[in-house]
Every structure is written in C-alpha cells, then in structure tokens.
A and B are shown apart, each in its own frame.
Chain A
Amino acid sequence: MDIVTLIIICVKALVVFAAIMLTVMAMTLAERRISAFMQNRLGPNRVGPKGLLQPLADGIKFLMKEDVIPSGVDKPIFLLAPVMLIVPALMTFAIIPFGSELHLFGRAIQLQVADINIGVLYILALTSVGVYGIVLAGWSSNSKYPLLGGLRSSAQLISYELAMGLAIVSIILLAGSLRLNDIIIQQQGHFLSWNVFKQPLAFLIFVVAVYAETNRLPFDLTEAEQELVGGYHTEYSSIKFAMFYMAEYANMITASALTVTLFLGGWDIPLMNEAALGNLGVLLSVVSFVIKTALFLFIFIWVRWTFPRFRYDQLMRLGWKVMLPLALVNIFLTAGYLTLTV
C-alpha cells in the first residue's frame, strides 16, 4: 500500500464523515421546518437567513448546558452507550458506494470508503450491534423509564432485524453477490431494472423494517412521550443527549442510503451510461445518489406526521406474524421464479 492510496482513503473517510455530519445538522433543521410546514406553522426561522444557522445555535446551546449525571447512574456504561450507538451507524456508511468510479491522474478511485465483498452481511452485523447502545443506555440510567424504553426497543430491534435480513436475501438471490457494487451493477439499465420494481414486496418489508430499526414513527415506541417520557435517553442531558439525536439521524441517513443502494440502483442513473461521460458522469452519479437519499430522508419526516404510533402488541404482531412470514414467502417466490426462468 503506497502513501497515495493511504491519503486517498483518509480523504474519502473524512469527506464521508463531514457529509454525514452536515446532513445530520441539515436534518435537524429540515425535520423542524418540514414538520412546521406540514402543521401550518413557521418553525425555527430566526437564526441566520431562513433559520439556516439554527443547528449551529442548537449545538452551542447543547455544549453550554449543564451535564447532569444523576446519582446511582452506572457511569462507564452511561458514557459508552452513545458511542455504541453512533459507531455502527458511521461504520455502515463506510461501505456504501456513493458514486461510480472516479478517474484522476490515471488512478481509478472508487467513491466508496471501503469496498467489502461481503458488504451486505457486514451491514447486518453492524445493525445487530446497534441494540447495545439502547439497552445499555436504558440499563445504566438507574431510572424506570429508560429501562423500559431500552427493553422495549431492543425487543423491537431484534424482531424487525429478521424481516430486514430476509428481505435482503431476496435481493442477493437476484444479484448473486454480497458486494454492494455488484448489487448496483445488477440494477443498471432502465427504471424497471431497479430492485424496487423487481422486488416490490421485499422493498416494502425492508422499508418498514428500516423504520422500526431507526426507531422512527410509527415505530418510536422507545420514546413514546405519553408513557415513557424520553425512553432510553430520559436521563441524558446536554451534549450526551445531543449525541443520541446525532446517532438517530446518522442511523436514518445510513438507512436511507442503504435503501437507495439496495433497491433504487444506488448512484445509477437510468437510461444513461455514466462511464461514457467521464468524470462528469461520476459527478452526476453522486448527485443522483444524493437526490435519492434526500428523497428517503424526506419520506422519513413525511411518515412521521402521517401515521400514528403503533401499540406495542401491534408492533410485535406485525414483526413476527406479518413481516416474517411475508419475507419467507417472498424468498420462496423469488427462488421459485428464478428456477423456472433460468
């Protein structure tokens, strides 16, 4: 490994990290502004032009607030919990290809921080580890609401993880590879070659599972304000509280990017040969990836103000009795179809 490769890797990692952080900031603002728009209010519009500097003001405020660590809290684990929540979200984004191959100075640079050939499994593994942040935050708080929130959420996460994994299996059946780039290449062509059209049922299952995995409405049982106050982060204050929010948004971004990669052709632009356009095509592919991801992020907010929250028994019922059998049936159908046609 030569020094240039090393530099390229570091630059890519930093760019991705900066992009995620900027998107997180933008999302905190967008969430409030779009929510306000949907409810016919104004939303934060005072800090900076059109309220654009609001996230910055929020950040400073979080830093200046007193950090209350209640007595009886298990401190090491209390501190560890936000780290365990945010690291998997960042690590997942490391393997998502955000553009086609860039050619600079005779080098082929893949627009992807790490190209792991069992990428899909890597994502599933990291998703499964995300439970710890929530469980440990709930447990270490020494308070009843966080404990209940953490518990509920962990049961929710593991229930929907299965459906998510099974939905991905049907994509793998089509692609025949666990590498995300191969999955994107398999979807190239025109619109109908996207997996969302080839695998509508898997797409539906995956998206629902993603909402459950990111603890967003209608699955935000963990922080159901009316019954659990703030859920697992009730006892967290100031910057630690902000970290949970950061992790939540980072998770949303990663989940959106992943949905785009698996089902909407990733950076691919239909009916266009990006490779023929050289580096302009690369730029367009990045733009296409960003637009698609932004669309999903918008839908996250849209859904929030459209659907009411599930009851916990409904949630478990949906996960185990609807999604899991449906995903199994989908695999059966996909595999059967492939056998008949190939």
Chain B
Amino acid sequence: MTIGVTINSLPVINSSTSMYRDFGTSFIFVLIGIILVAVPLLLQRILSPRRKTAEKMSTYECGEDVEGPAWVKFNIRFYVIALIFIIFDVEVVFLFPWAVVYKELGLFAFVEMMIFLGILALGLAYVWRKGDLEWVKYSVPYGRGRYRKLTIIEETPASPAPAPQETAA
C-alpha cells in the first residue's frame, strides 16, 4: 500500500520520519494537557482562601458522620465483565488488520473471519446462557412484566446453574 496518498495535486510526504513527527505531534497534547491542569491549580493556590475545619475535611455522606471505610469490597460481577471484555477486546483487535486487507483477500478472508467470529460468538452465547451478562441475578416468582426482575428475595444456592431468567428478548 502506498502511504503517500495524494489528496489534491501536491503529494503529501509521508515517509517514516513523518510518522515519527506525527506521533510526536500528538504528544504535544500531553504537555498541553498537563499545563492545562497545572496552571489553573497554581492560580487557584494563589487566589483561593484556605480555611480548613474538621467538618469540611470529612467526605460527603449525606451530611451524616462518615461510617466505616470507603474501600468496600464490591460485587464480583464487575470483575467477570472486565474479564469477558479483555477476551472480546483481543477479538476486536484481530478484526482491524482483517478489515484493512479484506478487499484484497476477498471470499477467503470472509470465510476465515466468520469461523473466527463464529467460535467467539459461541463464547458469547455461552456467557449469555450462563447468565453472566445478567446484571440482576435473582427473579421474583410473583413479579410480572417489567417488575419480574426487580427484587432480590433470597440467595439461590450456588450449585445448580440458575434457570434462564430471561430468554432472548
């Protein structure tokens, strides 16, 4: 592939040195970003008053005294979502080189990628079926319509796989 695409009459010089330059240029914005944060902070240090009181220094908790530490252990499903995300992220990354050369490779690439995607779709279907994409894990027996997944009534035992609370909607 020729990189130096001619947009208008003049060719754009695009050797590897200009790629250095272009990536380098985008790093200018890192500096700008840091300055953008640092300068107002400095200004504010000069301008703003500082009167600390014990009340003011406490974190916000609806006006009550702070109860317990903030670092609570949170639900494992965030972790599971992050894990599934990594796997699909890797998949998406594979798709990009494929999409770039797709027109050159044609049907062959199509079949290849569909096998790849098919296997991963299987994975998605598995996760879906196992209920890991489900945010509300427990269903209410008496709930109807849109209330059917609203409340937690009891902890279901861990051993049997939870019944599919919801089919593909």
A18-54 interface with B by 8 A CB criterion:
none
Min Cβ gap B101→A in Å is 8
Min Cβ gap A87→B in Å is 4
Main secondary structure of the interface of A (DSSP, over half): helix
Asked whether A336 is an interface residue with its Cβ less than 8 Å from the other chain, the reply is: yes
Asked whether A224 is an interface residue with its Cβ less than 8 Å from the other chain, the reply is: no
6 extra interface residue pairs, beta carbon distance < 8 Å, beyond A143-B70, A161-B85, A316-B135: A63-B48, A71-B58, A90-B36, A115-B12, A162-B89, A181-B5
Bound-state Cα–Cα, A82 to B36, Å: 10
Which A residues are in CB contact (< 8 Å) with B72? 144, 147
Can you give 27 A-B contacts (C-beta < 8 A)?
A: A1-B21, A9-B28, A68-B57, A72-B59, A83-B37, A87-B29, A90-B29, A90-B32, A94-B29, A101-B7, A113-B28, A116-B19, A120-B96, A143-B66, A143-B70, A145-B61, A158-B82, A158-B85, A172-B96, A177-B1, A235-B59, A235-B60, A313-B134, A321-B128, A324-B88, A339-B106, A342-B103
B26-71 interface with A by 8 A CB criterion:
26-30, 32-34, 36-37, 40-41, 43-45, 47-51, 56-62, 66, 70-71
Which B residues are in CB contact (< 8 Å) with A87? 29-30, 33-34
Specify the chain A residue showing the minimal Cβ separation from B62.
A229
Specify the chain A residue showing the minimal Cβ separation from B44.
A239
Main secondary structure of the interface of B (DSSP, over half): helix
Which B residues are in CB contact (< 8 Å) with A95? 22, 26
Which B residues are in CB contact (< 8 Å) with A242? 40
Contact of B33 among A90, A148, A312 (CB under 8 A): A90
Residue count of chain B within 8 Å CB distance of chain A: 79
**B 115-159 binary contact with A (CB < 8 Å = 1; else 0):** 001000100100010000111100000000000010000000000
Contact of A147 among B23, B70, B88, B100 (CB under 8 A): B70
Bound-state Cα–Cα, A94 to B59, Å: 37
